[in-house]
Structure 1
């Protein structure tokens, strides 16, 4: 396997559009790193630059210490798995798995050995004589993975490999890819627009928007300490509640909003809030940190009207409205008021997030 280093990597198209703006980070040997963001954020462009399928406008790309800016894709010792499988329909599974090796001049005995090993790893031994048309979507994706696996490359590149699968298959294939990574200890770069895939697969995640890296961190650090409003709103399902207002202190901290005041009390991190007193901020509250208050409890932080209940089995989503501000609360199954009722809500004060309203940057460590 290998390390990958990106140093101020840029992609500027002839029309002046900046696809990737100065990406710099290292991928460790054996790491599974995920590139995530909305459509058009530059994640696939960045992956294709690593693969050599997009020219690099500026900056340096090194694989295992070797600068590969001008090295042809076939000479970079990488293997890529595409979204659409790209299998040859007239070939059997075994022939699809071994085709790349055959083009590179490997002997038949070597090809057969590698194909057999990959088929065993991916549980495809009984489908080696089948053609892609006779396979399920999950099996086809495993063949596409196997075709990369037999190459034994320095780096695996996966471009939204699960996006064509249904929800159940995506879940099983996520587990398959995670298992494969642990088994191979391979260096992998995985592109997805699905933040659930990113959170469950990535050892580290690179969040992009508009060609710019917003944050690079572990999944839980992204969730617990988003660097800015974009990451806060993108990572998490349902998304973080974001409340705009002015931070004030009068008989405890409060957020003064157009919908009314929100009582914040004395959170543990309040000492760091002093520089933001009487300034425009955005308060972030995860749905699980916004909870209905039982009758007789302390005064609520705010009261909102319940609009829709969404029970999903092990939890319930409460869609609420505080004035014109929509809110979502995630609760355990329990007796809940009917839609239309006012619901007093409390905040998990130790887990509040504060952002500068002007820059969108996180302002409390």
Structure 2
């Protein structure tokens, strides 16, 4: 196991495109860190620089305290799991698992021992003689993970390893990866564009956009205190409601929007918002913090027209129209409402978010 340290690591391609713009952060020994962001944001480029598959244009990369900028991939003591598995179709599961060890000249007895141990952990003992074509998608993914595990590297690198699986299998494999990480404690860097994977797997998450780091924090730290509008809108399912308007004071704070006035009460950021009165801000409101009230409830912060109900079992998503603004409310099941109705909603004042509409930065 090892620490990983990046100091202003940059990737600039010959055509001038900046793939990664000055990434600086440390990964603790044994930590599972997730890199998340939309397609093309630079997260896989950064992972490939860690692996040595992309050259580093500037900055310093250290693994276990050793500078790795010019070290060949085979000498970095890392193992990488690719999105497409990259299994050898003519080899059995056992041969795929042990191939990397054979290349390094490890004794046959030691290879067999490690392959058997990993196969038992991943429940592949009964499939050691099968070839990849005879395996299910989940079994192929486990073989790809196992091939990395038998090497017992200092660092695991996983590049969207679950993206080719169906939803049910992704869930089970997420649990499997988390369980294996707890058992082995190997430093792991996991790349995904799936925010659910990021939130459920990562001990910390690095959020990328357009080659730049937007925020680094724990999953709940990102959810509860997004640093800017990009993070606020990217993490959360359904996404955070964002409403632009002018901040006013009328027995408490009021946001004047194109859809009407939203009464905000006195949120914890009231002091920080003093300089923003009569100025435009962006209000962020999580769907669970927008809850329907009785028709005659005087505590309503806003009224919106119900467009679509989405029952998903243990909760219901209410898709709303507030003027020309689309909103979503997350509620418990059993909401006695019908599309087309106008519904009064309360808000959780203590959980509001405010952002600068010009640079997107969090206020307060």
Match of 2:34 in 1: 34
Tell me the SS of whatever aligns to 2:7. strand
Check whether the contact 2:295–2:343 (CA below 8 A) recurs between aligned residues: no
Give the Å deviation of 1:296.
3.4
For the residues of structure 2 that align with 1:133 and 1:268, how far apart are their CA atoms? 58
1:63-74 to 2 correspondences below 5 Å: 63-74=63-74
What SS class does the counterpart of residue 19 from structure 1 fall into?
strand
| 1:150-201 deviations in Å (ceiling 9; x for gaps) | 0000000000000000000000000000000000011000000000000000
Give the superposition deviation at 1:269.
Answer: 3.2
- The equivalent of 1:142 in structure 2 is 142
Once the two structures are overlaid, the 10-residue window that deviates more, 270-279 or 27-36, is 270-279
Uncovered stretches (5+) of structure 1, i.e. residues with no partner? none
- Which runs of structure 2 are paired with 1:1-365 in the superposition (5 Å)? 1-364=1-364
Following superposition, the deviation at residue 346 of structure 1 comes to 0.7
Question: TM-score scaled by structure 1?
Answer: 0.99
Report the secondary structure of 2:96's partner residue. Answer: helix
> How far apart are residue 280 of structure 1 and its match?
1.1
Structure 1: distance between partners of 2:133 and 2:237? 35
Rounded to whole Å, the distance in 1 between the matches of 2:147 and 2:299 is 61
Aligned-residue Cα RMSD (Å) equals 0.8
Q: TM-score, normalised by structure 2?
A: 0.99
Measured after TM superposition, the shift of residue 270 of structure 1 is 1.8
Q: Distance in 2 between matches of 1:298 and 1:75?
A: 68
Residues of 2 paired with 1:46 and 1:183: CA distance? Answer: 26
Per-residue deviation, 1:250:
1.9
Render the CA deviation track for 1:10-56: whole Å, top value 9, x for unaligned.
00000000000000000000000000000000000000000000000
Q: Distance in 1 between matches of 2:334 and 2:15?
A: 56
Give the CA deviation at 1:337. Answer: 1.5
Q: Secondary structure of 1:343's partner?
A: strand
**Secondary structure class of the residue paired with 2:169:** helix
SS of 1:354's partner is strand
| Partner SS, residue 340 of structure 1 | coil
Unaligned runs of 5+ in 2: none
CA distance in 2 between counterparts of 1:321 and 1:90 reads 56
Once the two structures are TM-superposed, the CA of residue 71 in structure 1 deviates from its matched residue by 0.3
| Distance in 1 (alpha carbons) for counterparts of 2:273 and 2:297 | 26
SS at match of 2:89: coil
Q: What secondary structure, in the 3-state scheme, does the structure 2 residue paired with 1:272 have? A: coil
Shift of 1:123: 1.0
Aligned partners of 2:197 and 2:265: how far apart in 1?
36
| In 2: Cα distance, 1:264 partner to 1:68 partner | 52
User: Secondary structure at 1:183's aligned position in 2?
Assistant: helix
Q: Is the 8 A contact 2:254 2:264 kept in 1?
A: yes
